[in-house]
Amino acid sequence: MKTSILDKAEKTKKTYFGMCYCGVYEYVVPIICDDIVIGVIYAGEFHSDQEKAYSRIKAISEEYNMNQAQLLTLYNSSTQDTIYSPDEITSRLGIVADYLASLYTTLIPLHKNLSKNNLDTYSSEHYILSHAIEFIEQNYSSELNLQKISNFCHCSTSHLSHIFKKNMKVNVKAYINKVRIEHAKLLLKNTHHNISEIAISIGFNDPNYFSNTFKEICGMTPSQYRKTYKQ
């Protein structure tokens, strides 16, 4: 990892969009544990500033005696025009970053005293937790409950609850709401759907409960959020 990338991630502690030394644009999502950046997730690749990108590719080809035409062909074929918004990237990869941070926290005490037993326990918990998170992300807009998720993960509801609270520091219901609210924020910013329509589309049957949950998580109502952030 280049020091400049890590330095910027540590400084901003937010998802940012930048160009690498080869002219490729990508998003960088920091993985934060106890307010410390322990790594980053790269998401790309995009082309935005063609002139600047071509200039960097030319410099790379000359420095390493590489075929510039081939590099340009690879660049154009492997990057895309559609550039997602930072919120779209954060709403998806932010959850992955949170999950990796929780795994890091779990591994710290194991590192000093590793054994087959605690590794087996960790492996089993990791399997269940990763499948639960994926199931929630794929089904957040439908009716979700602890029983459905535990059935998918082939474990008891009590075991799933224990693993989730231990690793994610929140219960399953709170995590489901967090995922739903992240998707609601995108809809509030990028669509003209009314609050009730958005609530139903992300899995809330009661618009009032949605509004209360949104305010609890975001510190403002959905209407206030839309007025503040709508593009």
How far is CA 98 from each of CA 30, 39, 200, 208, rounded to the nearest angstrom? 9, 11, 26, 28
- How far apart are the C-alpha atoms of 202 and 14, rounded to whole Å? 25
Identity of the residue numbered 49: D
Compute the mean pLDDT over every residue in the chain, rounded to the nearest whole number: 83
pTM of the model: 0.56
Confidence of residue 176 (pLDDT cuts 50, 70, 90): very high
Least confident of 46-50, 131-135, 149-153: 46-50
How many helices, marked H, and strands, marked E, lie in the chain?
11, 3
Least confident of 116-125, 180-189, 210-219: 116-125
- pLDDT for 183 equals 94
Tokens of 6: 């890590």
Tokens of 194: 């009314």
Note the pLDDT tens digit of each residue in 61-78: 887 677 888 888 888 888
Our measurement of the distance from residue 35's CA atom to the centroid of its chain's CA atoms, rounded to an integer in Å, reads: 17
Mean pLDDT, rounded, for 110-114: 49
